[in-house]
Amino acid sequence: MAIPRRRALLVAAVAAAVAAVAGAPRGAAAVQRVTTSSPPAHCKVVVVGGGIGGAYAAWRMVVDSGKVDGKDVCLFEAADRFGGRIRTVSDVPGFEGYTVDLGAYRYHREDHQMMRSLVEDALKIPTHCYMDPLNRDNGECFDEKRVLVTARGSRWTSTNRTFNTVDEQLTDWSADIPYAIPPQYRWGAGQPLEARRMPLDFLLGPKSGVPPVAARWAELQAANYPDAMRIVDEILADVKADTFRGTPWDQLSLFTLATAFGNYTQEELAYYLDTDQAIGDNIFYGPNPVMSLLQDLLRAAALKKQPLDGFRAMVVPVKDDAAKTRAGMVTIIHAMLDAAAASGVRIYTGFKADRVSRVAGCGTRMRVEFKNGMAVTTDRLFLNMGKPDIVALGRTSLPLSEATPTFTRLLEATQPYCLTKMYCFWHDAWWLNTLKVTVGRTRTNLDLASARWHDGAMRCDDRAALRNCSGSMLVSYALSDDTYGSSSGLYNSHHDPTPYTPLSETDQGRTLVAGRLTPREQLLFNDVHRQLKELYDPALAAAGVRAGVPAPDACVYAAWTHVGVHIRLPYEIVGDVSPHTAFAAPVAGLGLHLTNEAFGVNTGWAESSVTSAEIALHHGVGLERPAWMDRAFHKSMIVLKNEGM
């Protein structure tokens, strides 16, 4: 059967766009992504924001579904780049072509099924194991081994240069642990408990403090994938109708449950927050409502049941070369925008939305005004913005000008938290050349809160022997609230000369090059080097390098202080409208939709942005399930919005 001409053109557009991103063959014309002509006075569909949620909305309507004509869609981006908090950098002086991501940087092939299906099946973008930056693990995807943990003056480090024993040292309680754990809650050989108590112990498992979870945990564990997805839908519905001692589960934080149900102590909590594998646990597992966490974690338990070839681990986009060179998360956005542009979508940069209003006398038509003095009218509008940007539009602008009390409270309950990342570059990548370590993770009580030795762009003349290697390491990754302190996440932002907020005309991402620093930058650079030496000099000394960690040749960092990742807060919600329903259509009867990490399923990840867009497209535009998305996922996550039956 012949492919219809329109569909064939769309398929060709996708192929051409992906080829352009990966490196078009000689003689092939590159896609003109940005429209240089002035925008029209009216576009039937307008997307404001060129992040992954906005790019996906345009691509999905025009290219993937073919339901909307490309010439009817306009996309406006405020900056001169695309991605928002997806911030790919490849131009650090002296390290041109070494690609790092200063914001979103990876996805999990099992937990983030929509991202996996979109990237790998629909866009055909190659990916590789996040823990294998040099492509030397022969198809494996090893765990992120911890090489160092410091807390309250104590230091746990790998022994005999095996770099795999830190977690073994922390397996049992001992008097060396600098936390006053009550005797009845100590764990290990000869202790009352077999294992350390964790906050999630009170949320998941057969002894969960949430009765609907405990009642069906065994059934969920035994189920196949479609049944597991259905069981989670049913559990979530039961949790909605249940309470904890009269308090709804969406108004109760996990820490409240842990202390009220499990008598979880402050010292256990401090030990967990200071030494656990992840960063930001005080955010995600602290104020987050139990209901919100169950939506994420029960769904993850069901997604583990899906048949899946390849890694069940974190992956990153890579180039189609033998080294599997990291390409950056923006590759995904560029692929969708190039395909959309090739199909007629008009894309503009330098257009920052200032106000959205109804057009008087024109029913549901809207007008978007931009700070450059231009405006466009539209019948359907996708706002690819987070909460701070929505609030910055003001109370006289849609959606807040017609917001219901329910939407307003749900928006208030969506809280942005700051996130900072810093990569440092060395021509002599000492962790590779000297220590011969390709995978390593640290958790510290310093401002360089969490490092990942495998996260960066690296090159070696001899990858197998790790000789003559250069590249970058993620020397600090921090996520927390706005209270400054050890590992708070605000360290880098204290050195920013200008803020990055919805009111700013600046961008985020700063580069420090040795020998080219301002006095203020030199203070930061020196302090970063001091902390690197404090953390890693002992390991280099054991390898015979008395000079310790050399000063970096360059560093690059971003401080997403005001526009970071979002979580839910356990506020009392006015009315009976669920979050995803309210965000997909904040004003009844109006074709206005919010598509952003703040408003989708699994906040904090790119998965949330694309699910928020697909929920809006399905319920608002009427798009059916895409061919590359499985039926069980579509029903639970898109039709039911991961909110239960």
Q: What is the DSSP letter of 495?
A: G
Asked whether the beta carbons of 170 and 275 are under 8 A apart, the reply is: yes
Task: Identify the three-state secondary structure at position 101.
Answer: strand
DSSP 134-162: TS-STT------EEEEEETTEEEE-STT-
Residues paired with 416 in a beta bridge: 566
* Blockwise average pLDDT, block size 10, the chain, 645 residues: 38 42 36 89 99 99 98 98 97 98 97 98 98 90 86 83 67 90 95 93 96 99 99 98 97 94 93 80 80 96 96 96 96 98 98 98 98 98 98 98 94 90 97 94 87 96 97 90 45 72 87 96 93 95 95 94 89 86 94 97 94 98 98 98 92
- CB-based burial label for 53 (10 Å; 0-12, 13-18, 19+): buried
Domains recognised in the chain with CATH numbers: 5-23+30-84+326-413+575-639 (3.50.50.60), 88-143+416-564 (no CATH), 182-303 (no CATH)
Q: How far lies 478's CA from each of 273, 296, 492, 588, in Å?
A: 13, 22, 10, 39
* Residue 361: both structure tokens together: 């006398």
Contact 212, 183 (CB under 8 A): no
Residue 205 identity: G
Q: Beta partners for 244?
A: 247
Cis peptide before 497 (omega within 30 of 0): no
Residue 124: exposed, middle, or buried by beta-carbon count in 10 A (0-12, 13-18, 19+)?
A: middle
- Cα(246)–Cα(249) distance, integer angstroms: 9
H helices, E strands: number in the chain: 18, 23
Contact between 577 and 408 under an 8 Å Cβ cutoff? The reply is no
Contact in structure between 397 and 356 (CB atoms under 8 Å): yes
The answer to whether 87 and 99 have CB atoms below 8 angstroms apart is no
pTM: 0.93
| Distance from the Cα of residue 518 to its chain's centroid | 32
For residues 537 and 227, what is the distance between their CA atoms, to the nearest angstrom?
52
Q: Is 312 helix (H, G, I), strand (E, B) or coil?
A: coil
Structure tokens of 144? 């992120």
Tokens 């965000």, located at residue: 583
Beta bridge partners of 100: 89
The rounded distance, in Å, linking the Cα atoms of 641 and 634 is 9
Residue showing tokens 């395909």: 339
Q: Which residue blocks in 558-639 are alpha helix, DSSP H?
A: 579-584, 606-616, 631-633
